[in-house]
A and B are shown apart, each in its own frame.
Chain A
Amino acid sequence: MGDVTPLPGTALFRSTSTGSVPGTSSPSPGLILGVETSCDETAAAIVERGTTVRSSVVSSQVDLHVRYGGVVPEVASRAHVELLNPVVVSALEEAGLDRHAPAIDAVAATVGPGLIGSLLVGVSAAKAMALAWDVPFVGVNHLEAHLYASFLAAADLEFPMVVLLVSGGHTMLIVMHDHGSYGLLGQTVDDAAGEAFDKVARFLGLGYPGGPLIDKAAVDGDAAAIRFPRPMMDEGLVFSFSGLKTAVVRWVKEHPGCSSADVAASFQEAAVDVLVTKTRRALQQVGASSLCLAGGVAANSRLRARAAALADEVGVPVFLPPRDLCTDNAAMVAAAGWWRLQSDGPTPLDAGAVPSLAFPIR
C-alpha cells in the first residue's frame, strides 16, 4: 500500500487506476494468482507468465458430491467459503511467496459461466485480495481457461488451432486464430459429452464422477461388443449425445445381466468415435496447424489416444492438457488471466459474476 493510508475508499480508486500491467510497464516476474470456484472445486494457483505452474492447489469437493451423486449448489457455495482461504494460503506458500504480502502481479478469478453463489465467493475474494495487495483484478471466462491448461508448458502455439472442448456442460469445436481470438465451428444440440458419460455411469451403477469410472470399467470390456449409434456422424460439426445415452439405456434394459464393462467400453467407443470424426473434419475444414483437447473429458484415456493418433495422421502437433488439469483447477485460470491482462488490461472492480457467460467468440 506504499505510504498511502489504507482507507477502504482510497484503496478502491488506487487499485483500479494504477495497477501495473505486466509486460506493458516495468519488468515483472509475471506471477498471477488464479482463483476458481465456479462449480465443484475450490482452487488457487500461482502461474508465471501463463506457462509455468509454481503451485496449484485444488481442494476437491468430490467427497461431498459422491453422497449426492452430483453437484450440490448449497453445499458447494458454503464449502467454497470455508475452503478458499486455506487453499489460497497453500498456493502462495507452495510458490514460496509471503502469504501476507505476496509479490504477485495480478489476481485472476473465474467470473462465469457457473453457479452464481459459487462464482461470487471466488470473485469477491479475488477482488478483495487485489485491493489489499494493490494489484489488478482480472476476470476470466472458465471455458477459455480450460484451453490454457493445455498451453501450460507448451513453448510455441501454432495457429490456426482446432480446439475440442469437452466437459460435463459443454461440447464444442473451436478455431483459435490467436490468443483471445476464436471462432465457433460447432457444438452439441442437446447433451454434452461429459454429461452422457456421467448419466451412463450412474445408470450402470458405476457411481460418480462418471467419466473416470467409465474409462476404468472400459479397460476390461470389449469396445466392439455392442454397436451403439454414432449420432449425427455425417452432419458437419454439430454433436448430439442424447440419442446415444438413450440407446445405451434401452439396450441395457433389453439385456438384463449384460456386462457393464462391455457396455462402458462400447459406449465410450461410440462417443469417442463421434468426437474424433468431427475433429478430423474440423482440422481439414480449417486447414489447422495444430490440435488441442480441453475440458474434463480430455482426461479420458481413449479420447487422448485417438486424438494423438489423429494429429499424427494429419501431421499436426497436438496439445493435451495434463490429466490433473483437465478438470476444474486454478492454474488454467491464472494462465488465461495472464493473457487476458496482456490483451484487455485489468477488469473493473464493479464487474460482477456472469452465470451464463458464453465462450468469448470474436
Chain B
Amino acid sequence: MARLIVPGDVVLLIGELGAGKTVFAQGFASGLGYEGQVTSPTFVLVQQYEGRLTMFHSDMYRLGSLSEVADLGLVEIGVEGVLVIEWGDFARPVVGSDFLEVVIDLDGEGRRMLAFTPVGESWERRATLLAQAVGS
C-alpha cells in the first residue's frame, strides 16, 4: 500500500485502544523503506522516519481540542512527506479534503477487520490501485 503514497498524503488511522494502529504504522513505514524501529507517538506526539518519503507519525490520543491539534502544525510539516495519524478521527477537520481513512475493528476473538475509505480527488483516483494493493 505504501507504494501508492505520494508527497503530501495523509493517512488517518482509526480504532480503539489495542486495535493495532501502531502496528499498521510500523508496516507502513517498512513499506516506505524505513528499516528502523517505529514506536508509539502517544507521549512524544510526533515522530519522524526517513524512508522513500519522510513519514511523520503522530497521535491525537492525548489531545483535547481542535485548536491543540492545529497547534501541532501537522499539515505544514507533512507537505513533503506523508502524515500517518493515530486516533485520526480527531484530526479529520484540520487535514484538508484529501486523505485516506483506515478503520481497524477488533472483534471479540481478536480478529481484525480493516476498512479503507479514500476521501477526496487524489485518493479516489487511486481507489482501484488501493483495492488491488490491500487485496479486496
Contact = CB atoms under 8 A, between A and B. Distances in A.
Nearest to A192: B43
A117 B71 contact: yes
A73 B73 CA distance: 11
A69 B62 contact: yes
Interface of A: 67-75, 77, 113, 115, 117, 167-169, 187-192, 194-195, 198-199, 203, 242, 245-246, 249-250, 253-254, 355-356
A115 to B, nearest CB: 6
Contacts of A189: 37, 39
Contacts of B44: 113, 169, 356
Contact of B47 (A70, A77, A242, A356): A356
B64 interface: yes
A207 to B, nearest CB: 13
A69 B48 contact: no
A210 to B, nearest CB: 11
A68 B62 CA distance: 7
Interface of B: 16-18, 22-23, 26, 37, 39-40, 42-48, 61-65, 67-68, 71-72, 108, 110
6 contacts: A68-B64, A75-B68, A191-B39, A195-B43, A250-B110, A355-B46
B45 A69 contact: no
A300 to B, nearest CB: 16
Count chain A CB atoms within 10 A of each CB in B23, B44, B47, B65 and give the residue with the most: B44
Contact of B62 (A71, A242, A245, A249): A71
A343 to B, nearest CB: 27
Nearest to A241: B40
A187 B17 CA distance: 22
Given A242-B22, A246-B18, A194 B43 contact: yes
A356 B18 contact: no
Given A70-B63, A73-B45, A249-B17, 14 more contacts: A68-B63, A68-B65, A68-B68, A70-B62, A72-B62, A73-B72, A74-B71, A167-B43, A188-B39, A242-B22, A250-B110, A355-B46, A356-B47, A356-B48
